[in-house]
Amino acid sequence: MKSENSISKLIKGYKPGYSLEQAFYKNPDLYKKEIENIFHKHWILAGHISQIPEVGDFFLFEFANESIIVTRSKDGSIKALLNVCRHRGSRVCLEDKGNAKAFTCPYHAWSFDLDGKLIAARYMNDDFDKSENGLHRAHVELAGGLIFISLAEHPLSLSQMQDDLADVFDQFGFDNMKLAIQKTYPINANWKLANENYQECYHCAPSHKDFAKIHAMALNPAKFDQQKETFLKTSESNIRTKPSSFYFDLAKDGQEGYQYDRNPLIKGMMSGSKGGKPVAPLLGKLEKYECAASEFMVGPVTFFLIYDDHMLGYRFLPTSLDECICDLFWFVRGDAVEGKDYDLETLTWLWHETILDDEKIIIDNKKGVDSHFYKPGKLSDMEAMEQHFLDWYIKSIS
Ligand code: FES
Ligand SMILES: [Fe+2]
């Protein structure tokens, strides 16, 4: 009761236009509420179908206290099974990826098939009903080859996003991409500080020297607006430039939030790479480099940046109140061959460097927010998306 009171007091004291009070990052009960109201409710990127091409292939998708086995079942469909044994709760699958015919719990050896159905339970009485004791399943939805998972009993709908962005998925060939590499970056800070940092490019010029050489959005706002206007006027491309803004508090009732936009890169920069040079074969229906990149987000913690020749995915997940991870996914065209069409070091260079910059600024931010003297500070106009995130966040925990 006392804790509920302190959370509602905190929410009541929230001032739009300012950063959050320190206690939003420190309160363990609030963290529990965030897990329940945000991470158990919204759609999150789990991975890509190219990670599990064969029947029985699986990988684990994990955050906070949860572990989910994402697997390809016998009929070729993708299943998401809660990695919690229906006997006494042990983790059933301990490998983070692999191939299995069935999942056998290491504790007392109950065995579950690729759909999560209980197929063997040693020495249980005759009246024990195996059909009632399968692994719990999470909802799965695909967008192209991207695998999204929702732990909600009744998930938000992705139908608006799927209909609206069907042309984008087609133009960039979402059905025909593959995951080139995924890297995980642990960050010693509350997940919101990491997610908030990704919502604004106010920090891009001072904090990301390499990124700022490539992306026009790191320029001052007037210059960026001018470049964007010229880009929109002169673009003859078949790639969609029309934005869709249904993110965070702008999402329609019952629908998952999402966003799409296309922005120019700095003149002459063709990709998100050293010197803006091409790093992989052009995606989808692109016929030439357009010196632009598209942004796409689904739900509150999954973001994509689509260059003409590769796509970057981001995912921010809490591991505890004070720690989170940022997962980076690099996607290339499905038929691209490593070593011939792309090289992992060249492909990953810019965003590996950029996330290391981000990790540093996020941790420095956390140190300041932890101070006795920290007070919420005024946001700039360049932090409009951060404002949407904060407004949505307050609603989500209220
Ligand atoms: S906890 Fe899994 S078989 Fe007992
Ligand atoms: Fe950044």
Residues 187, 287: one domain?
Answer: yes
Residues 225, 283: one domain?
Answer: yes
The whole-angstrom separation of Cα 330 and Cα 347 is: 8
Ligand nearest to the CA of 305: 2
Distance 15 CA to ligand 2 centre (A): 24
Distance 298 CA to ligand 2 centre (A): 19
Q: Tell me what the pLDDT averaged over the chain comes to.
A: 96
Distance 84 CA to ligand 1 centre (A): 9
Residues 267, 129: one domain?
Answer: no
* Structure confidence by residue, pLDDT tens digits, 146-162: 999 999 999 999 999 99
CATH of the domain at 58: 2.102.10.10
Q: In this structure, is residue 30 part of a structural domain?
A: no
Q: Quick one: tokens of 347?
A: 């492909």
pLDDT tops 60 at residue 1? no
Residue 238: the pLDDT is 86
What burial class does residue 240 get, using C-beta atoms within 10 Å of its C-beta: 0-12 exposed, 13-18 middle, 19+ buried?
A: middle
Residues 174, 304: one domain?
Answer: yes
Last residue of a domain, one of 125, 142, 159: 142
Residues 329, 238: one domain?
Answer: yes
% of the chain residues with pLDDT over 90: 96
Q: In this structure, is residue 8 part of a structural domain?
A: no
Residues 193, 291: one domain?
Answer: yes
Q: How many domains does the chain have?
A: 2
pLDDT tops 80 at residue 381? yes
The domain in which residue 133 lies consists of 44-142
Residue 2: the pLDDT is 64
pLDDT tops 90 at residue 4? no
Ligand nearest to the CA of 316: 2
Q: Quick one: tokens of 117?
A: 């159905």
Q: In this structure, is residue 9 part of a structural domain?
A: no
The helix/strand/coil state of 65 is coil
Last residue of a domain, one of 74, 107, 142: 142
Distance 319 CA to ligand 2 centre (A): 20
Residues 346, 205: one domain?
Answer: yes
CATH of the domain at 222: 3.90.380.10
Ligand nearest to the CA of 200: 2
At 237, the pLDDT band (50, 70, 90 cuts) reads: confident
Residue 5: the pLDDT is 77
The residue among 19 and 5 whose pLDDT is bigger is: 19
**Beta bridge partners of residue 181, listed in sequence order:** 330
Residues 138, 247: one domain?
Answer: no
Residues 186, 277: one domain?
Answer: yes
Task: State the average pLDDT over residues 304-324.
Answer: 98
Query: Which residue minimizes the CA distance to atom 1 of ligand 1?
Result: 88
The whole-angstrom separation of Cα 197 and Cα 138 is: 29
Residues 182, 243: one domain?
Answer: yes
Ligand 1 cavity residues, CB under 6 Å: 85, 87-90, 105, 107-110
Q: Which of 105, 112, 135 for mutating ligand 1's site (highest number of atoms within 8 Å of CB)? A: 105
Distance 208 CA to ligand 2 centre (A): 7
Residue 235: the pLDDT is 84
Residue 152: the pLDDT is 98
Residues 231, 318: one domain?
Answer: yes
Q: Which of 67, 84, 110 for mutating ligand 1's site (highest number of atoms within 8 Å of CB)? A: 110
At 44, the pLDDT band (50, 70, 90 cuts) reads: very high
Last residue of a domain, one of 72, 107, 142: 142
For residue 238, give every residue at least 6 positions away whose Cβ sits within 8 Å of its Cβ, in sequence order, or none. 171, 285
Task: State the average pLDDT over residues 240-251.
Answer: 96
Residues 196, 314: one domain?
Answer: yes
Task: State the average pLDDT over residues 246-271.
Answer: 96
Q: In this structure, is residue 19 part of a structural domain?
A: no
Q: In this structure, is residue 124 part of a structural domain?
A: yes
Residue 236: the pLDDT is 81
